[in-house]
Amino acid sequence: QVQLQESGPGLVEPSQTLSLTCTVSGGSISRGSFYWSWIRQPAGKGLEWIGRIYASGSTNYNPSLKSRVTISVDTPKNQFSLKLSSVTAADTAVYYCARDNDWFAPWGQGTLVTVSS
Amino acid sequence: DIQMTQSPSSLSASVGDRVTITCQASQDISNYLNWYQQKPGKAPKLLMYDASNLETGVPSRFSGSGSGTDFTFTISSLQPEDIATYYCQHYYNLPRTFGQGTKLEI
């Protein structure tokens, strides 16, 4: 079955750009009518949808983050990526990638990104 | 953005209890509502979609109902492995938003 795995630096300095990649295995990112989403969760808090991408490259972003977010897709590598610019401590969170069919399933295991100098 | 409000925020129950969590949307979302279970240190897991449809492989003690603005999630007989935080999420429009979560304890 489809599995997702996030990867990227666990520590990012303030004002820099957070970059994460989600690798999809067990199925093609281009197959089916799925979007691919990024979701984050600060420690002890709730879930925040960041944005999504379709295999064609079409994107949607949460307006609260839109000015700082870029999501891209690399279909030959079966990956999609997140870039979040001008990060602050408030961006410290576990970042998840997930397949998006209006509901999110499956999810990656998540990766903790800490913003600190 | 559509606001999703869950209640209660936390709940203590005993094994075998019937447990009910509610989720209220700030506007009519039809049945575009999903429920997730998140155990400590783990990613959320989809339990129910379209308000009342059980995801494949999810035990039948879990159920959901509702439409419009008010939704209910029920565990008919609480099991020790059900200890987790539960979230609702709408998909009526963008951005997708989640409830604040209900932490279930025994």
Q: Kind of pairing, strands A59-61 and A48-54?
A: antiparallel
Looking at residue B21, its pLDDT comes to: 98
Do B89 and A104 make contact, defined as CB atoms within 8 angstroms? yes
Residue A112 to chain B, least CA–CA distance (Å): 11
CA distance B3 to A95: 22
Closest CA to B20 of B74, B62, B96: B74
- Chain B residues touching residue A108 (CB < 8 angstroms): 43
Give contacts of B40 with chain A, Cβ < 8 Å: none
Query: Each residue of B5-23: pLDDT tens digit?
Result: 999 999 999 999 999 999 9
Provide the shortest C-alpha distance from residue A104 to chain B (in Å). 7
Between strands B53-54 and A79-84, the pairing is unpaired
Cα B105 to Cα B39: distance, rounded to the nearest angstrom: 11
- Which are the contacts of A25, defined by CB distance < 8 A and separation ≥ 6? A2, A3, A4, A5, A78
Instruction: Kindly determine whether residue A47 and residue B44, on different chains, have CB atoms separated by under 8 Å.
Output: yes
Task: Name the band, by pLDDT with cuts 50, 70 and 90, for residue A31.
Answer: confident
pLDDT reported for residue B14: 96
> A63 vs B1: CB contact, 8 Å cut-off?
yes
Asked whether the predicted pLDDT for residue A32 surpasses 90, the reply is: no
The structure tokens listed for A93 are 């969170």
Q: How far apart are CA A115 and CA A43, in angstroms?
A: 13
Q: pLDDT by residue (tens digit) across A41-60?
A: 999 999 999 999 999 999 99
